[in-house]
Chain A
Amino acid sequence: MTEPIITFKNFSFKYDSQAFPTLQDINLTINRGEKILIAGPSGSGKSTIGRCINGLIPNIDTGTITGECLINGKNIKETDLFDLSFTTSTILQDTDSQFIGLTVGEDIAFALENDCRPQNKIRQTVHRWADKLEISDLLKQAPQSLSGGQKQTVALAGVLIDESPIMLFDEPLANLDPASGMKTMALIDQIQKELNATVIIIEHRLEEVLSQPIDRVVLVNDGKIIADKSPNDLLHQNKLEDIGVRSPLYLTALTKAGVDLDAIPDLTSIKALPDDEKIGQKLQKWADDASLTSKKEEKQPLLELKGVGHRYNHLQVNPLRDVTATINKGDFVSIVGQNGAGKTTLCRLICGFIPNEGKILFDDDDLSQYSIKQISEKIGYVMQDPNQMISQKMIFDEVALGLCLRGYSKDEIKDKVFKTLKICGLYPYRHWPISALSFGQKKRVTIAAILVLEPDVIILDEPTAGQDWKTYTEIMSFLKKLNEQGKTIMIITHDMYLMMEYTNRSLAFADGKLIADTEPIRLLTEKSLIKKASLKRTSLYDLAHKYNLRDPNYFVRAYVDSERTSQNA
């Protein structure tokens, strides 16, 4: 029963606003009921393929089409967006902007309201789907008040009511904590089986998507399809990392240990790996051979939090409260926990943006006596969205702003800004307008603008959220360099592997409370903590367990260590 529902035939597309085609000569057939992953780095054109499938191209994004693209038998050139929306349901990457209704119920009902269905029918349908997805008790809440996982489920409900044959997910994992990410993948799988829908997932986080069965992976790079294979074949081919897509951690670990991947029939999950003692021995030997580089330094307290907390208003259920911790000079701290646990609140407190119930000492100096401006000379804060920080047109001016406002002389400003731009690798672009930069570069501009004031501590809110592996590595290795130069760095993150590889300490939050302050690896050894903070073990643990390695933690540590050293080289 292989009936094609989506066909691209010699398809190319050029946006009007761009000089070169974004998609070139695409040939792709997707059959009814298939579950497809479209993967590729940022700018590869994978999202553009998605925008053809839901009809945004050519209805909203104008451009030149050559070749043919048929969705459920309709040529996208001749089909209007509204017609196509009955065929393709789209869940956008940023669920926050997908939520238009004031309450969950209204939001789910949105498409039916637009179809002008009678109110009682709408209510029935909304309740049916809410029951099915177990979100009935959320119907009267505001979408913004939900956790990341709940948001994703609500967004799903909002398109499921259409019961379209095709469901398109644009980077569903980008804004989710690890545990919610896994749940979402499982939910997608369950829905697909029930409705027998065609599911297309656009994501660059391969390992997480592969936690559920996938029929085919379409790998896109530079506007071309470079692979269209079953996940197993693709993983055997082993060329993901050449184009900047991270391959699953357990496979990298196996390769490091010298295991021949070609000899393993099924690579798609750890469960599917063969129970072969030889593999276990190889892994064990590799771990034993690894000598851990242990840094033991004198620790000098820099930032002391004593009973810190804040309540936004009396309706808030779990306000941040009673946080006590000491950050030492040179620490690289990760702040983790489920969405809404109080992570961002903590950072804003430290910077003096919002009032604080407790006490914060910086170098034994009480911060409450200082203004926001004065604190920022000791502690710099980089917001998640660079667009909310950038107020100038040119890179130089943006970085110089803080100095200008502090009355430095022209020469001093030039000197300091150029020095900072060199550190951040932005010097060649110093006369560029910021609007011409990529996301990663913009992020670096905002970091440079903070760095130029020479704070001892830099706090970053989710610096890598939604970024592909290349940008991720770029940002993180830059932060690592700063850390090595003596800056104390704190980051909020959902990425468990990032936490382990880059940071030496983790603060985990749940429901407004600090529930752990320990080494990242230790954090992931305690099951109760993992559950409370909505974290997830990396697949390295599962691999270690599968082959009964003596000390799984030691194995993970050895792996992280070898990655660290290979990056320094």
Chain B
Amino acid sequence: MHDQNQILGYQPGTSFIYQLNATTKLIFMLLVSAACMITYDTRFLLAICVFSIILFKEAQIKWSQISFIVKFIVAFMILNLIFVYLFQPTYGQEIYHSRSIIIHAGYFTLTIQEVFYLFNLLLKYICSIPIVLLFLLTTNPSQFAASLNKIGISYNISYAVALALRYIPDIQNSYWAISAAQQARGNELSKKAKLSQRIKGTLNIIMPLIFSSLERIDTISTAMQLRRFGSKKKRTWYVARSFKKEDYWVMGLSVLSILIVILLWQLNHGRFYNPFM
């Protein structure tokens, strides 16, 4: 039961990416994702796509570690693309100012421009996924918190994120323990049960989970105050690491990607790359 409900998280390793500073990886992830978010330039998105797949190979991550997540994402994206198409089949031709029909079907007439737009949307969704997954799999959560602090987020929020990552496995264990105890009481949680029964049954897990967590919040905050959390304007991090030469290279690369996107914006006169004109 527990295995199929695994959640993605840090898995120790030794490849090149593990050696990078967490701040570097965070900046890289944020800037490259932002670049992918801004642009609709097909060439750029494809390049990032290829690049991130190569990176994945380099990091020696196994397919089995991520297979369930990839299946999840693909299913979700196909659904989303269908929706976009159903709602406005003419959106593509509006963007690219031309119309080359593939299939005549009244409202649902399919154009090359629409297909091209959907293809770009798909690329946008998927090109940065490997980078994010890599970040999650190779970054130690405490170093992640330290790096958030380093890029300017207050240490209170950074620490809250660290706490969240630290307690996800604990809360997950509690969730399953409570769930088992509730099933023993007779709560039907399987797909067979009626909707109202499932909601009630799930609520019977959520209530004890939340209320025992409220007590936990009190004890943990007491423990933290007794050890002077929040007493100063700044704090240092035991796990923070200093930058090395590689870190500067990678950060340079991520800034470069933003510059390219700005350049492309100029060249394309906007976010869309238009091969039809």
Chain A residues with CB under 8 Å of chain B are 54, 56, 59-60, 81-82, 85, 90, 92, 94, 97-98, 100-103, 105-106, 109-119, 122-123, 126, 144, 158-159, 312-313, 348, 351, 353-355, 371-373, 375-376, 380-381, 383, 385, 387-391, 401-402, 405-406, 449
B177 within 8 A of A: yes
Query: Given contacts A103-B142, A351-B180, A353-B180, is CB(A373)–CB(B212) below 8 Å?
Result: no
B2 within 8 A of A: yes
CA distance A92 to B227 in the complex (A): 11
Interchain CB contact (< 8 A) of B215 among A114, A371, A387:
A387
Which residues of B have CB within 8 Å of A56? Answer: 222, 226
Give the shortest distance, in Å, between A340 (CB) and chain B (any CB). 14
Interchain CB contact (< 8 A) of B238 among A109, A355, A383:
A109
CA distance A112 to B162 in the complex (A): 17
Query: Given contacts A100-B223, A372-B184, is CB(A387)–CB(B142) below 8 Å?
Result: no
Contact A376 B186 (CB under 8 A): yes
CA distance A126 to B237 in the complex (A): 13
Give the shortest distance, in Å, between B217 (CB) and chain A (any CB). 10
Contact A114 B2 (CB under 8 A): no
- Going nearest first, the 5 A-B pairs with the smallest beta carbon separation are A405-B186, A376-B184, A353-B180, A109-B238, A391-B204
Contact A102 B142 (CB under 8 A): yes
Which residues of A have CB within 8 Å of B187? Answer: 373, 405
Interchain CB contact (< 8 A) of B184 among A118, A380, A385:
A380
CA distance A353 to B183 in the complex (A): 9
Contact A402 B1 (CB under 8 A): no
Contact B185 A401 (CB under 8 A): yes
Interface residue stretch chosen among B40-48, B228-236, B263-271 = B228-236
B80 within 8 A of A: no
CA distance A248 to B142 in the complex (A): 46
Which residues of A have CB within 8 Å of B223? Answer: 92, 97-98, 100
B181 within 8 A of A: yes
Contact B231 A82 (CB under 8 A): yes
B163 within 8 A of A: yes
Interchain CB contact (< 8 A) of A388 among B163, B183, B212, B229:
B212
CA distance A116 to B222 in the complex (A): 20
Total number of A-B contacts with CB less than 8 angstroms? 152
Interchain CB contact (< 8 A) of A82 among B204, B219, B220, B228:
B228
Chain B residues with CB under 8 Å of chain A are 1-3, 140-142, 162-163, 165-166, 170, 174, 177-178, 180-188, 203-205, 207-209, 211-212, 215-216, 219-220, 222-232, 234-240
Query: Given contacts A94-B219, A100-B166, A106-B239, is CB(A85)–CB(B227) below 8 Å?
Result: yes
CA distance A525 to B180 in the complex (A): 38
Apart from A81-B225, A355-B1, what are 16 other A-B pairs with CB-CB below 8 Å? Answer: A82-B228, A85-B227, A90-B226, A100-B223, A101-B238, A102-B142, A113-B236, A114-B235, A117-B236, A312-B2, A353-B180, A381-B181, A381-B184, A388-B177, A388-B209, A391-B204
Which of A109, A372, A401 has its CB near the most chain B CB atoms (within 10 A)? A372
CA distance A312 to B172 in the complex (A): 14
Contact A54 B226 (CB under 8 A): yes
Which residues of B have CB within 8 Å of A85? Answer: 225-228
Give the shortest distance, in Å, between A100 (CB) and chain B (any CB). 6
Which of B141, B178, B231 has its CB near the most chain A CB atoms (within 10 A)? B231
